[in-house]
Protein backbone atom coordinates (compact mmCIF):
# COMPACT_ATOMS: atom_id res chain seq x y z
CA UNK A 1 0.00 0.00 0.00
CA UNK A 2 2.46 2.68 1.14
CA UNK A 3 5.49 2.96 -1.10
CA UNK A 4 8.98 3.23 0.39
CA UNK A 5 10.38 6.48 -0.97
CA UNK A 6 7.12 8.37 -0.61
CA UNK A 7 6.97 11.78 0.98
CA UNK A 8 4.17 13.03 3.19
CA UNK A 9 2.99 15.10 0.27
CA UNK A 10 2.75 12.09 -2.04
CA UNK A 11 0.97 10.05 0.60
CA UNK A 12 -1.60 12.78 1.13
CA UNK A 13 -2.19 13.04 -2.57
CA UNK A 14 -2.77 9.35 -2.91
CA UNK A 15 -5.13 9.39 0.03
CA UNK A 16 -7.12 12.32 -1.34
CA UNK A 17 -7.39 10.77 -4.76
CA UNK A 18 -8.54 7.50 -3.29
CA UNK A 19 -11.02 9.26 -1.03
CA UNK A 20 -12.55 11.12 -3.96
CA UNK A 21 -12.79 7.96 -6.02
CA UNK A 22 -14.40 6.08 -3.13
CA UNK A 23 -16.82 8.90 -2.39
CA UNK A 24 -17.87 9.11 -6.02
CA UNK A 25 -18.48 5.40 -6.35
CA UNK A 26 -20.18 5.05 -2.99
CA UNK A 27 -22.58 7.93 -3.48
CA UNK A 28 -23.32 7.03 -7.09
CA UNK A 29 -24.14 3.46 -6.13
CA UNK A 30 -26.32 4.67 -3.31
CA UNK A 31 -28.33 7.42 -5.00
CA UNK A 32 -27.73 6.97 -8.70
CA UNK A 33 -24.99 8.65 -10.66
CA UNK A 34 -26.76 11.80 -11.68
CA UNK A 35 -28.40 12.41 -8.38
CA UNK A 36 -24.97 13.06 -6.94
CA UNK A 37 -23.27 16.40 -7.44
CA UNK A 38 -19.57 17.07 -7.40
CA UNK A 39 -20.22 19.33 -4.44
CA UNK A 40 -21.51 16.38 -2.43
CA UNK A 41 -18.62 14.20 -3.46
CA UNK A 42 -16.09 16.82 -2.47
CA UNK A 43 -17.82 17.31 0.87
CA UNK A 44 -17.79 13.55 1.49
CA UNK A 45 -14.06 13.48 0.84
CA UNK A 46 -13.45 16.62 2.90
CA UNK A 47 -11.99 18.75 0.18
CA UNK A 48 -13.23 21.67 -1.87
CA UNK A 49 -14.97 21.31 -5.20
CA UNK A 50 -12.02 22.96 -6.85
CA UNK A 51 -9.73 20.31 -5.43
CA UNK A 52 -11.92 17.58 -6.86
CA UNK A 53 -11.17 19.01 -10.28
CA UNK A 54 -7.49 19.15 -9.53
CA UNK A 55 -7.58 15.37 -9.29
CA UNK A 56 -10.14 14.43 -11.90
CA UNK A 57 -11.02 16.20 -15.10
CA UNK A 58 -14.64 15.13 -14.83
CA UNK A 59 -17.15 13.32 -12.68
CA UNK A 60 -16.98 10.41 -15.11
CA UNK A 61 -13.30 10.03 -14.60
CA UNK A 62 -13.67 9.96 -10.84
CA UNK A 63 -16.26 7.21 -11.04
CA UNK A 64 -13.97 4.90 -12.96
CA UNK A 65 -10.83 6.21 -11.32
CA UNK A 66 -8.60 4.84 -14.03
CA UNK A 67 -4.97 5.01 -13.08
CA UNK A 68 -3.34 7.49 -15.46
CA UNK A 69 -0.17 5.43 -15.37
CA UNK A 70 -1.88 2.26 -16.48
CA UNK A 71 -1.56 3.16 -20.14
CA UNK A 72 2.19 3.81 -20.08
CA UNK A 73 2.71 0.77 -17.86
CA UNK A 74 0.92 -1.47 -20.34
CA UNK A 75 2.85 -0.03 -23.25
CA UNK A 76 6.11 -0.74 -21.49
CA UNK A 77 5.03 -4.25 -20.66
CA UNK A 78 4.15 -4.92 -24.27
CA UNK A 79 7.51 -3.74 -25.50
CA UNK A 80 9.34 -5.68 -22.79
CA UNK A 81 7.74 -9.04 -23.61
CA UNK A 82 10.02 -11.79 -24.95
CA UNK A 83 10.41 -12.05 -28.70
CA UNK A 84 8.53 -15.30 -29.10
CA UNK A 85 5.38 -13.73 -27.69
CA UNK A 86 2.94 -12.40 -30.27
CA UNK A 87 1.70 -8.82 -30.01
CA UNK A 88 -1.72 -10.25 -29.27
CA UNK A 89 -0.46 -12.29 -26.36
CA UNK A 90 1.62 -9.42 -25.06
CA UNK A 91 -1.33 -7.08 -25.13
CA UNK A 92 -3.62 -9.69 -23.61
CA UNK A 93 -1.19 -10.25 -20.77
CA UNK A 94 -0.77 -6.56 -20.11
CA UNK A 95 -4.53 -6.12 -19.83
CA UNK A 96 -5.00 -9.07 -17.52
CA UNK A 97 -2.12 -7.94 -15.36
CA UNK A 98 -3.72 -4.53 -14.85
CA UNK A 99 -7.07 -6.06 -14.08
CA UNK A 100 -5.87 -8.55 -11.50
CA UNK A 101 -3.89 -5.78 -9.92
CA UNK A 102 -6.87 -3.47 -9.84
CA UNK A 103 -9.15 -6.12 -8.42
CA UNK A 104 -6.67 -7.00 -5.71
CA UNK A 105 -6.51 -3.38 -4.64
CA UNK A 106 -10.11 -2.36 -4.97
CA UNK A 107 -12.44 -5.29 -5.48
CA UNK A 108 -15.05 -3.67 -3.23
CA UNK A 109 -15.21 -0.58 -5.42
CA UNK A 110 -15.89 -2.66 -8.48
CA UNK A 111 -18.77 -4.37 -6.76
CA UNK A 112 -20.33 -0.94 -6.26
CA UNK A 113 -19.45 0.31 -9.72
CA UNK A 114 -21.23 -2.71 -11.11
CA UNK A 115 -24.56 -1.35 -9.93
CA UNK A 116 -23.88 2.09 -11.32
CA UNK A 117 -22.76 0.76 -14.68
CA UNK A 118 -25.78 -1.47 -15.00
CA UNK A 119 -27.95 1.65 -14.84
CA UNK A 120 -25.71 3.72 -17.06
CA UNK A 121 -23.69 1.53 -19.43
CA UNK A 122 -22.65 4.60 -21.38
CA UNK A 123 -20.39 5.67 -18.52
CA UNK A 124 -18.04 2.82 -19.26
CA UNK A 125 -17.80 3.89 -22.87
CA UNK A 126 -17.17 7.47 -21.80
CA UNK A 127 -14.45 6.31 -19.46
CA UNK A 128 -12.54 4.99 -22.44
CA UNK A 129 -13.26 8.17 -24.36
CA UNK A 130 -11.38 10.05 -21.67
CA UNK A 131 -8.33 7.92 -22.17
CA UNK A 132 -8.48 8.02 -25.95
CA UNK A 133 -5.02 9.59 -25.93
CA UNK A 134 -3.55 6.45 -24.40
CA UNK A 135 -4.96 4.35 -27.20
CA UNK A 136 -2.48 5.99 -29.49
CA UNK A 137 0.34 5.09 -27.14
CA UNK A 138 -0.69 1.45 -26.91
CA UNK A 139 -1.28 1.22 -30.64
CA UNK A 140 2.26 2.45 -31.24
CA UNK A 141 3.64 -0.20 -28.92
CA UNK A 142 1.65 -2.94 -30.63
CA UNK A 143 2.60 -1.63 -34.05
CA UNK A 144 6.26 -1.58 -33.17
CA UNK A 145 6.21 -5.17 -31.97
CA UNK A 146 4.19 -6.27 -34.96
CA UNK A 147 6.56 -4.56 -37.34
CA UNK A 148 3.74 -2.80 -39.11
CA UNK A 149 3.75 0.71 -40.62
CA UNK A 150 2.08 3.49 -38.65
CA UNK A 151 -0.79 3.50 -41.09
CA UNK A 152 -1.86 -0.12 -40.61
CA UNK A 153 -5.22 -0.86 -39.06
CA UNK A 154 -4.15 -3.84 -36.98
CA UNK A 155 -2.60 -2.10 -33.95
CA UNK A 156 -5.47 0.33 -33.54
CA UNK A 157 -7.92 -2.50 -33.95
CA UNK A 158 -6.26 -4.72 -31.41
CA UNK A 159 -6.21 -1.94 -28.85
CA UNK A 160 -9.84 -1.09 -29.51
CA UNK A 161 -10.66 -4.77 -29.15
CA UNK A 162 -9.14 -4.61 -25.69
CA UNK A 163 -11.46 -1.81 -24.62
CA UNK A 164 -14.38 -3.61 -26.15
CA UNK A 165 -13.49 -6.84 -24.40
CA UNK A 166 -13.24 -5.12 -21.07
CA UNK A 167 -16.46 -3.26 -21.59
CA UNK A 168 -18.45 -6.32 -22.62
CA UNK A 169 -16.91 -8.39 -19.88
CA UNK A 170 -17.99 -5.90 -17.23
CA UNK A 171 -21.51 -5.77 -18.61
CA UNK A 172 -21.68 -9.53 -18.66
CA UNK A 173 -20.11 -9.84 -15.22
CA UNK A 174 -22.58 -7.31 -13.84
CA UNK A 175 -25.43 -9.66 -14.79
CA UNK A 176 -23.81 -12.76 -13.37
CA UNK A 177 -20.63 -12.63 -11.34
CA UNK A 178 -20.25 -16.39 -10.94
CA UNK A 179 -17.19 -16.14 -13.14
CA UNK A 180 -14.47 -13.74 -12.01
CA UNK A 181 -14.19 -10.53 -14.01
CA UNK A 182 -10.62 -11.23 -14.99
CA UNK A 183 -11.61 -14.56 -16.48
CA UNK A 184 -14.47 -13.06 -18.46
CA UNK A 185 -12.12 -10.49 -19.92
CA UNK A 186 -9.75 -13.30 -20.82
CA UNK A 187 -12.54 -15.22 -22.55
CA UNK A 188 -13.57 -12.13 -24.46
CA UNK A 189 -10.05 -11.50 -25.66
CA UNK A 190 -9.74 -15.11 -26.75
CA UNK A 191 -12.85 -14.74 -28.86
CA UNK A 192 -11.26 -11.77 -30.54
CA UNK A 193 -8.13 -13.80 -30.96
CA UNK A 194 -9.73 -16.72 -32.76
CA UNK A 195 -12.12 -14.57 -34.75
CA UNK A 196 -15.80 -13.71 -34.66
CA UNK A 197 -16.70 -15.07 -38.08
CA UNK A 198 -18.25 -18.16 -36.57
CA UNK A 199 -20.47 -18.48 -33.54
CA UNK A 200 -18.52 -20.12 -30.73
CA UNK A 201 -19.80 -23.25 -29.06
CA UNK A 202 -21.69 -22.63 -25.88
CA UNK A 203 -20.01 -24.52 -23.08
CA UNK A 204 -20.65 -23.81 -19.41
CA UNK A 205 -17.84 -22.77 -17.12
CA UNK A 206 -15.39 -21.74 -19.83
CA UNK A 207 -12.70 -20.06 -17.80
CA UNK A 208 -9.91 -20.66 -20.27
Partner DNA sequence: CTGCAAAGTTGCACTCACTGCAAAACTATC
Partner DNA sequence: GATAGTTTTGCAGTGAGTGCAACTTTGCAG
Q: Which residues bind a second copy (CB under 8 A)?
A: 86-88, 121-123, 125-126, 128-130, 132, 135, 146-149, 151-154, 156-158, 160-161, 163-165, 167-169, 171-172, 175-176, 184, 187-188, 191-200, 202
Dist CA 129 CA 49 (whole Å)? 23
37 contact choice in DNA, a second copy, none (CB below 5 to 8 Å, kind-dependent): DNA
Dist CA 74 CA 134 (whole Å)? 10
147 Cβ neighbours under 8 A, 6+ residues apart = none
96 Cβ neighbours under 8 A, 6+ residues apart = 182, 185, 186
Show the site string, 55-74: x = touches DNA by CB under 7 A, - = not: x-xxxx--------------
Q: List, as own/partner pairs, every contact residues 152-159 make where C-beta atoms lie below 8 angstroms and the sequence separation is at least 24, other chains included.
A: 155/87, 158/87, 158/88, 158/91, 159/91, 159/135
Nearest 5°: CA angle at 93, between 88 and 96?
125
13-32 residues in contact with DNA (CB under 7 A) are: 13, 16
1 contact choice in DNA, a second copy, none (CB below 5 to 8 Å, kind-dependent): none
Q: Per rule CB under 7 A, is residue 7 in the interface with DNA?
A: yes
Q: Which stretch binds DNA (CB under 7 A): 2-10, 86-94, 140-148, 176-184?
A: 2-10
User: What is the closest distance, in whole angstroms, from the C-beta atom of residue 18 to DNA in the complex?
Assistant: 12
Q: Per rule CB under 7 A, is residue 53 in the interface with DNA?
A: yes
Q: What is the CB neighbour count within 10 angstroms for residue 157?
A: 14
User: What is the closest distance, in whole angstroms, from the C-beta atom of residue 39 to DNA in the complex?
Assistant: 6
In 3D, which of 190, 138, 186 has the Cα closest to residue 160? Answer: 138
Residues that bind DNA (CB under 7 A): 7-10, 12-13, 16, 36-39, 46-51, 53-55, 57-60
Amino acid sequence: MSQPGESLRDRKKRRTRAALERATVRLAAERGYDHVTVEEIAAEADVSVRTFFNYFASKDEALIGADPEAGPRMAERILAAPDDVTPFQAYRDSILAEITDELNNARDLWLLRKDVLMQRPDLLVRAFANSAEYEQLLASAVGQRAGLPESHLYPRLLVAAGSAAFRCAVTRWALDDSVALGDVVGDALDLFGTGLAHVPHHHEGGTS
